[in-house]
A = this chain, B = another copy of it.
Amino acid sequence: MATQFSIKDDDVDIVIGALQSDLTSFMNAWKPIFSRFHLIIVKDPELKEDLKIPDGFDVKIYTKADMDKTAGASLTSQLFSGYSCRYFGYLVSSKKYVISIDDDCIPAKDDKGFQVDAVAQHLFNLAVPATPLFFNTLYDPFCKGADFVRGYPFSMREGVPCALSCGLWLNLADLDAPTQALKPEQRNTRYVDAVLTVPAKALMPLSGINIGFNRELLGPALFPGLKLTKEGKLRWETMEDVFSGMCVKVVCDHLKFGVKTGLPYVWREERGDAVQSLKKDWEGMKLMEDAVPFFESIKLPAEAVKAEDCLLEIAKLVKERFAAEKNSVFIQAADAMTEWVNLWKKVVPASN
């Protein structure tokens, strides 16, 4: 099929978490793609220097002062430090669609050498249906030249709304610290020209590096709050997006929304030293061993009909499951989830 779609530029916010003060080269690299849209740049509350942002963008900047005013100083430090500062942008956006890309990524080139418009691809993924109930072997049936293959049930071909689009990474892939440390020379060079819907009931490790989502459908389902004890300012030292991603997938399965993965790619530049990160005793490794079976076991009640209901329910289940580990990152994450949903309900009028 070759599905047409139209999303107004006004329905989109691009949210960037600024972990570095000088965004000049990042913004200039994205200029042809970003300049049509409204941008929300959220400065890491722990970043001291003033931001350097080139001219030519429709941009609103949020800093620690805005966070403190909206959430209070205590919640700000709990929720919005480091990569998690972007979630403040998700909160204060008033748009239907949000695209978010890490500030160490630039536009990638496709397998024919053309620059990829990551925003357009995310919006396409979000605008056309997802197909989580039966796997289509030719990937996204709605993309140009593709279709449903023989045997795909006709009653399922309408699909379901797509709530989340997860893009990928060329050059430096999103590996964990041990893998990256073990293979310092490894680069991802394989351009896989496909988008697919992650099947219902299957969990996947969401990366927050390069995503787009339907904020009307997902509400506060992408949230900050899972903090590793020795979390740093490098992607492989964080797990907040992976943890939140498992919640989102459970929520989408329950509410009958789809999650897509694949295109668009972004080009990730080098940042950090994986071997140094390894010295931190990488807690994330152990965390997933408990988290995955837990998320697989979750059944949400039929009364949970909005993302915020689902999230509060999951927070309750996390607290029950990990009650024995009083100070664990899970209990802290569940507290943060609840705080976050309450904050969302206060700030976002439509969520009540």
A contact residues vs B (CB 8 Å cutoff): 111, 134-139, 145-156, 166, 168, 173-176, 179, 183, 186-194, 196, 198-207, 235-236, 239, 242, 245, 261, 284-285, 288-289, 292
Contact = CB atoms under 8 A, between A and B. Distances in A.
A184 to B, nearest CB: 13
Closest 6 CB pairs of A and B: A151-B205, A199-B202, A151-B242, A135-B204, A150-B176, A153-B288
Nearest to A179: B147
21 contacts: A111-B111, A134-B202, A134-B203, A134-B205, A135-B202, A135-B204, A136-B204, A136-B205, A145-B187, A146-B190, A147-B186, A148-B176, A149-B173, A150-B235, A150-B236, A151-B288, A190-B193, A192-B192, A192-B194, A193-B193, A200-B202
| Interface secondary structure of A, over-half rule | loop
Contact of A135 (B175, B191, B198, B242): B198
Contacts of A194: 190, 192, 194
Contacts of A284: 150-151
Contacts of A152: 176, 205, 288
Contacts of A173: 138, 147, 149
B292 A153 contact: yes
The quantity of this chain's copies bound in the complex is 2
A136 B173 CA distance: 12
Nearest to A262: B137
Contact of A137 (B166, B187, B236): B166
B150 A261 contact: no
Contact of A289 (B149, B153, B235): B153
Contact of A189 (B145, B202, B235): B145
Nearest to A148: B179
Most-contacted residue by chain B among A136, A147, A188, A198 (CB, 10 A): A147
Nearest to A243: B151
B151 A176 contact: yes
Given A138-B173, A168-B137, A261-B137, A150 B186 contact: no
Contacts of A261: 135, 137
Contacts of A288: 151-154
A202 B198 CA distance: 9
A7 B44 CA distance: 53
A175 B202 contact: no
A293 to B, nearest CB: 9
A59 to B, nearest CB: 29
Contacts of A176: 148-152
